[in-house]
């Protein structure tokens, strides 16, 4: 593992802690958190399917 990969992992863990603490500050119940997670999962999956059906790719 090179230095860039280690820095990326540490940064990712930091962002996850930041996002988790922001979500915890709302003091939502587990059922509401699960509902929100499923909604976001459906949004990203739907966007993925739309992009895949349209045949769009990132320019290289």
3-class SS of residue 29:
coil
Q: Are 24 and 16 in contact (CB under 8 A)?
A: no
pLDDT tens figures, 1-45: 788 899 999 999 999 999 989 988 989 888 998 999 999 999 999
- Position 49 scores a pLDDT of 95
- Position 51 scores a pLDDT of 92
CA quadruple 32, 38, 42, 48: dihedral positive or negative? positive
Q: How far is Cα 29 from Cα 14, in angstroms, rounded to an integer?
A: 24
For residue 59, pLDDT over 90 is answered with no
- Position 58 scores a pLDDT of 77
Q: Are 47 and 57 in contact (CB under 8 A)?
A: no
- Position 48 scores a pLDDT of 94
Q: Which two tokens stand for residue 13?
A: 């863990």
3-class SS of residue 1:
coil
């Amino acid at each position: 593992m090179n230095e860039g990969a280690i820095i990326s992992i540490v940064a990712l863990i930091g962002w996850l802690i930041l996002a988790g603490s922001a979500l915890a500050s709302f003091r939502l119940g587990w059922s509401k958190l699960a509902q929100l997670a499923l909604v976001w999962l459906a949004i990203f999956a739907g966007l993925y399917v739309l992009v895949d059906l349209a045949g769009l790719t990132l320019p290289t």
